[in-house]
Amino acid sequence: LRGCSAGSAPSASSLWLLTADQLGYTPTLTQTPSLEAVTTASTFVLEQPRCVFDSYGNADIWLVVALAKATSTFNNTARPGTPETAYQLFPGSVSAYMTLNATLANYPCPKPAGEITVLRVGSETSCAGDEARPTCNGPLPNPGPYRVKFLALQGSEPVAETVWSESITLRTAEPPSSISTTGKGHSAGMIAITTILSILFAILLAGLVAML
């Protein structure tokens, strides 16, 4: 805690000065193995932070998911499981929530051969409306953009954190009006032309038979 004299109690404003070790790791969307749905309309897939928090064996590691525009105001002293960081209040009164609680045992280093080391953010639908589970890994409510980082806490104290990821924008469904029907029009026209030609050919064939 910086900015407090010895023996003095920290003020409310000084809580923002709690600093954690800054780790040179940037969360990224997964690239290996190649997945078709790295981003969907409500989820995205991250690489696990392997070999990143090895010096913090007793810490709980959390994923912070924030609106891209709100990263500069995130308070790393905010505790997971409280209204200040609840998924169910995001993105209304909460601009960043905390989810996917893990320990170092969940991110062993080095990773076992053949193990898939990814995290799908937004995959839990059962707890999305359950206020009793404020750390729910629920579906993302809109395309974003979002940014994420990993934060290690010992008790309620932040001890280490990664940098924020680049902006992550989810997929959006195309409106029906934007779907081209040109191809279908050509197909219908070709069917009509083929039908007319077949009828004319039949008439011509019948006329030749009659003449013979």
Domain count for the chain, please give it.
1
The pLDDT of residue 177 is: 55
The pLDDT of residue 194 is: 75
The pLDDT of residue 111 is: 81
Across the range 97-105, mean pLDDT stands at 96
Across the range 99-105, mean pLDDT stands at 95
Across the range 169-195, mean pLDDT stands at 64
Percent of the chain with pLDDT over 90: 62
Cα–Cα nearest to 96, from 120, 79, 71:
71
Is 212 contained in some domain? no
59 confidence band (pLDDT: 50, 70, 90)? very high
Q: How far apart are CA 66 and CA 205, in angstroms?
A: 74
Is 127 contained in some domain? yes
The pLDDT of residue 18 is: 63
Is 69 contained in some domain? yes
Q: How far apart are CA 135 and CA 150, in angstroms?
A: 14
Owner of token pair 């280490």: 160
Is 194 contained in some domain? no
Is 191 contained in some domain? no
H or E element, residue 149:
strand 146-154
Give residue 107's domain range: 18-173
The pLDDT of residue 119 is: 95
pTM of the model: 0.74
Least confident of 57-66, 157-166, 184-193: 184-193
The pLDDT of residue 150 is: 98
The pLDDT of residue 5 is: 39
What does pLDDT average to over the chain?
A: 84
Is 140 contained in some domain? yes
Evaluate if residue 95 carries a pLDDT over 60: yes
Residue 32 CB burial class (10 angstroms; 0-12, 13-18, ≥19): exposed
Instruction: Please check whether residue 59 is in contact with residue 153, taking contact to mean a CB–CB distance below 8 angstroms.
Output: yes
The pLDDT of residue 172 is: 86
pLDDT tens digits, residue range 20-38? 899 999 999 998 656 678 9
Residue 139 CB burial class (10 angstroms; 0-12, 13-18, ≥19): middle
The pLDDT of residue 13 is: 38
Evaluate if residue 152 carries a pLDDT over 70: yes
Percent of the chain with pLDDT over 70: 79
The pLDDT of residue 9 is: 44
Is 46 contained in some domain? yes
DSSP track, 48-109: --TTTSTT-TT-EEEEEEEEGGGGGG--TTPPTTSGGG-GGGTTTT-SEEEEEEE-GGGS-S
Evaluate if residue 184 carries a pLDDT over 60: no
Is 210 contained in some domain? no
Q: What type of residue is 20?
A: A
CATH assignment of the domain containing 153? 2.60.40.10
